[in-house]
Amino acid sequence: MKYTKYLSMITIIALTSIGCNENKKNEQSPLVLKATQNGLKAIPTNESELHKIINNPQNPVTKDKVEFGKKLFFEPRLSKSNLISCNSCHNLGLGGDDGVSSAIGHGWTSNPHHLNSPTVYNAVFADKQFWDGRSPDLENQAQGPILASPEMASTKEIVVNTITSIPEYLAEYKKVFKTDEVTYEKITSAIGTFERTLVTPSRFDDFLNGNSKALTKEEEKGLETFIDKGCVSCHNGYALGGTMQPFPAVKPFKYSNIGNFSSKIVKVPTLRNITETAPYFHNGSSWDLSETVKIMGETQLGLDLKDNEVQEIVTFLKTLDGRKPIISYPILPKETSQTPKPNLDIN
Amino acid sequence: MKYTKYLSMITIIALTSIGCNENKKNEQSPLVLKATQNGLKAIPTNESELHKIINNPQNPVTKDKVEFGKKLFFEPRLSKSNLISCNSCHNLGLGGDDGVSSAIGHGWTSNPHHLNSPTVYNAVFADKQFWDGRSPDLENQAQGPILASPEMASTKEIVVNTITSIPEYLAEYKKVFKTDEVTYEKITSAIGTFERTLVTPSRFDDFLNGNSKALTKEEEKGLETFIDKGCVSCHNGYALGGTMQPFPAVKPFKYSNIGNFSSKIVKVPTLRNITETAPYFHNGSSWDLSETVKIMGETQLGLDLKDNEVQEIVTFLKTLDGRKPIISYPILPKETSQTPKPNLDIN
């Protein structure tokens, strides 16, 4: 365990908020049993268990790499303009996203497909990345937006030259990757490593981990409804989401006319911190969580959920508001005369 | 002293890095004496002394107000788009500015006068705010960019409604200001309060405060040259700047054709962290610190500084790289259905 700076904080918060012994598996409440049998999983409170889940053996999570990746996550000089960082659209202070329907990037360009920025919190738990699932993991995902012209509009050359021209970054890179060869892929992989640590355990996890008092009776009822109505068939696992599924599956989607995203298979969004990540759907078409639950019932399950059922589910969803890791805002090393200059041109 | 969370950190760092007793005024080195006689002032290591300098009796610096102001400083939902915060142009990770020649705001609009964003670090030490000095203090200054259409493009109504619609913010406001009446002026004053804490003592301060080993012989020589050549006539006080002075004073400014800033009296930029705040001048016209020093010698002092003199001065300026306060990135409270929605329209 080498990245305790972040994980230990998460773990400490999680540990201090559970009241029971999570190992008493034989004493699980019927609802906990039902939830886990339906595929819901708690973020473990045990640091080494969590490490196994979030680690990438091909690009191990280490303390130094997390720290380097954190700086790069907040680093606007990776963008063409020097003004846009990962945190611009995946704002860690705002639930890990930007709160606008369609992402805005270089030159105030809106995402050409009217795609909504998904939260970076708990993204590590997803099977695939991007709405169409074209990326296998966070390290790979991080390569995309930096180069995309409507996002950070950069080039591999700018990114590599920025890192190599700043002595502190170059030293940090060499320390982390044990090589003098600076590549775009390795630089961006450190961002993915940092993102792997962004997990947010909530009262829901406390409940599954054995604290029978973590949820109110209304919230337990909401969890029952969530399971019984079938939401859990897609919203399961650690992320309560993150797999690729047909959308819309059963009935047409009322906001399908917004944007031109054409994939029939769509990544199921995580429900963790869902109350902080409006607007909803891949095209950011609804600002209302109740409406969103109602629509999902129709399009995915063919159900006309009653108002009280919708409200029960929403009551449960609020238990997924997570405890965020404490992040000290990084002081970024200063550039040199060799560092690429900002380019604000739109074309 | 109620804002120890920030100031104590600054103070601890400052204290631990000085080796001598700053009270031994009688043993001041000739250079320290010369520097102070020429108007240079060290950021005090004593917390209560520092408090007196940075406090605003009309809007006292308190721990709660600093914490509230910190959130608002990082709060993009104060802007029309919900994407731009104070930190966008005054990035605390990048020397307190944005690193582009002319500030970029709502709709990717460049500052209409081609004005460069000044650093927010140590801005508290300036007599006036804005390049033309039209604002008396940080509380008043913070009212401007939020409403300016090429910057955050917001309205007082949006800002007030955002705060009142978010229960955590409303509660925090009431706690800080002890009133139910929510005003734009009070909200923005909290941002000013936070900014008052952003001071960055450096090795230069350690030297003035009595640590005779804080500077190398070359750096001491640089300080001498800085004083002897007359730079200190404008770059003095705690900020090494911050007063209003004629510019250009003696000879024409070679980059005067960039932008249309017409004030004959210009705020002297602080020299603290100057190596981190390129590009230079009010219009961001030079990326090179040596060139900038050379130009200032011409325009302000009528001097043709020799290359070695320029380098001596630059060597001194590097001692002003300051120790930044540690800022934990704020988790911002979530909005409600009453919170104003983002508006990305350019007009």
- Residues in B touching A346 (Cβ below 8 Å): 108
Check residue B57 and give its pLDDT: 97
Q: Helix or strand or coil: residue A275?
A: helix
Region B243-254 average pLDDT: 97
Which of A98, A100, A106, A111 has the most B C-beta neighbours within 10 Å, making it the best mutation to test the interface with B? Answer: A100
Which of B102, B331, B346 to mutate to test binding with chain A, by most A CBs within 10 Å of its CB? B331
**Per-residue pLDDT, B240:** 98
Please judge whether B342 and A100 are an interchain contact, meaning their C-beta atoms are less than 8 angstroms apart: yes
pLDDT digits (tens, 9 = 90+) for B302-333: 999 999 999 999 999 999 999 999 999 999 99
pLDDT tens-digit readout, A247-261: 999 999 999 999 999
Q: CA-CA distance, B199 to B206, in Å (whole number)? A: 14
pLDDT at B129: 97
Instruction: Convert the pLDDT of each residue in A324-342 to its tens digit.
Output: 999 999 999 999 999 999 9
Has B151 been annotated as catalytic?
yes
Interchain proximity B99–A330, CB inside 8 Å? no
Taking an 8 Å cut-off on Cβ atoms, the answer to whether B99 and A110 are in contact is no
pLDDT at A21: 45
Residues of B in contact with A110 (CB under 8 A): 344
Q: Is the peptide bond before A248 cis (omega within 30 degrees of 0)?
A: yes
pLDDT by residue (tens digit) across A31-61?
999 999 999 999 999 999 999 999 999 999 9
Q: Do A81 and B100 touch (CB under 8 A)?
A: yes
Instruction: Tell me the pLDDT tens digit for each residue of A99-150.
Output: 999 999 999 999 999 999 999 999 999 999 999 999 999 999 999 999 999 9
For the stretch B114-139, pLDDT in tens is 999 999 999 999 999 999 999 999 99
Neighbouring-strand partners of residue B245 = B266
Res B195 pLDDT > 90:
yes
Does residue B4 carry a pLDDT above 60?
no
B27 burial level (CB within 10 Å; 0-12, 13-18, 19+)? exposed
| Per-residue burial over B287-326, b = 16 or more CB atoms within 10 Å of its CB, e = otherwise | bebeebbbbbbbbbbebebeeebbbbbbbbbbbbbbbbbe
Distance from CA of A328 to the nearest CA of B (A): 4
For residue B280, give the 3-state DSSP assignment. strand
Give the bridge partners for B244, in sequence order.
B267
Per the DSSP assignment, residues forming a β-bridge with A265 are: A246
pLDDT at residue A298 in the model: 98
Among B77, B92, B288, beta carbon nearest to A329: B92
State whether A108 and B108 contact (CB < 8 Å).
Answer: yes
Q: Are A80 and A109 in contact (CB under 8 A)?
A: no
Q: DSSP strand E in chain A: where?
A: 104-105, 109-110, 244-246, 265-267
Instruction: Give residue B291's pLDDT.
Output: 98
What pTM was estimated for this model as a whole?
Answer: 0.93
Q: Is the preceding omega at residue A279 within 30 degrees of 0, hence cis?
A: yes
Which stretches of chain A sit within 8 Å of chain B by CB?
Answer: 74, 76-77, 81-83, 88, 91-95, 98-100, 104, 107-108, 110, 275-276, 278, 287-288, 324, 326-332, 334-335, 337, 341-342, 344, 346
B74, B88, B342: residue with CB nearest A93: B74
**Nearest residue of B to residue A105, measured between CA atoms:** B108
Q: Which residue of A has its CA nearest to B98?
A: A83
Question: What residues of A are in contact with residue B330 (Cβ under 8 Å)?
Answer: 93
Checking if the pLDDT of B180 tops 70, the result is yes
CA dist A48 and A63 (Å) reads: 14
Q: How confident is the model at residue A347 (pLDDT cuts 50, 70, 90)?
A: confident
Chain A hits for B90, CB-CB cut-off 8 Å, are none
pLDDT for position A26: 53
User: How would residue B107 be classed by pLDDT, with cut points 50, 70 and 90?
Assistant: very high
Per-residue confidence band for B12, with pLDDT thresholds at 50, 70 and 90: very low
Question: In the predicted model, what is the mean pLDDT of chain A?
Answer: 93
Q: What is the mean pLDDT of residues A298-313?
A: 98
| Predicted pLDDT at A9 | 39
Query: How does pLDDT run across B265-311, given as a tens digit for each residue?
Result: 999 999 999 999 999 999 999 999 999 999 999 999 999 999 999 99
Q: What are phi and psi of B267, to 5 degrees?
A: -70, 130
Closest CA of chain A from B133, distance in Å:
26
ipTM (interface pTM): 0.93
Q: If you average pLDDT over residues A295-315, what whole number do you get?
A: 98
Kindly tell me if the per-residue pLDDT of A302 is higher than 90.
Answer: yes
Which residue in the set B81, B91, B328 is minimally distant from A328, CB to CB? B328
pLDDT band at A79 (very low <50, low <70, confident <90, very high): very high
Q: Could you give the C-alpha distances from A249 to A230, A252, A254, A271, in angstroms and in order?
A: 13, 8, 13, 19
- A324 and B331 within 8 Å at the Cβ level: the answer is yes
* Average pLDDT for A218-232: 98
Query: Taking CB atoms and an 8 Å limit, are A332 and B110 in contact across chains?
Result: no
pLDDT of residue A4: 42
When CB atoms are compared, the residue of B82, B104, B288 closest to A100 is: B82
pLDDT one-digit tens code per residue, B42-54 = 999 999 999 999 9
Q: Which pair of structure tokens corresponds to residue B333?
A: 């409270």
In this structure, what is the dihedral angle of CA atoms A90, A63, A321, A305, given to the nearest 10 degrees? 70
CB-CB neighbors (< 8 A) of B74 in chain A:
93
Q: Do B93 and A329 touch (CB under 8 A)?
A: yes
Our measurement of the distance from residue B185's CA atom to the centroid of its chain's CA atoms, rounded to an integer in Å, reads 20
By C-alpha distance, the chain A residue nearest B346 is: A108
- Cβ contact, residue pair B337, A288, below 8 Å: yes
CB A323 within 8 A of CB A202: yes
Q: Do B328 and A326 touch (CB under 8 A)?
A: yes
Q: Which of B67, B139, B151, B195 is catalytic?
A: B151
Picking from B95, B287, B327, the nearest residue to A329 by CB comes out as B327
User: What is the spatial distance between Cα A77 and Cα A81, in angstroms, rounded to a whole number?
Assistant: 7
pLDDT the model gives residue B26: 52
Compute the average pLDDT of residues A297-317: 98
Q: Which residue of A has its CA nearest to B73?
A: A93
Half-sphere exposure of B14 (CA within 13 A, CB side): 30
Confidence of residue B28 (pLDDT cuts 50, 70, 90): confident
- Average pLDDT over chain B reads 93
Instruction: Give the chain A residue whose CA is nearest to the CA of B74.
Output: A93
Using CA atoms, how far residue A92 sits from A28, A74, A187, in Å, is 34, 10, 20
Structure confidence by residue, pLDDT tens digits, B65-106: 999 999 999 999 999 999 999 999 999 999 999 999 999 999
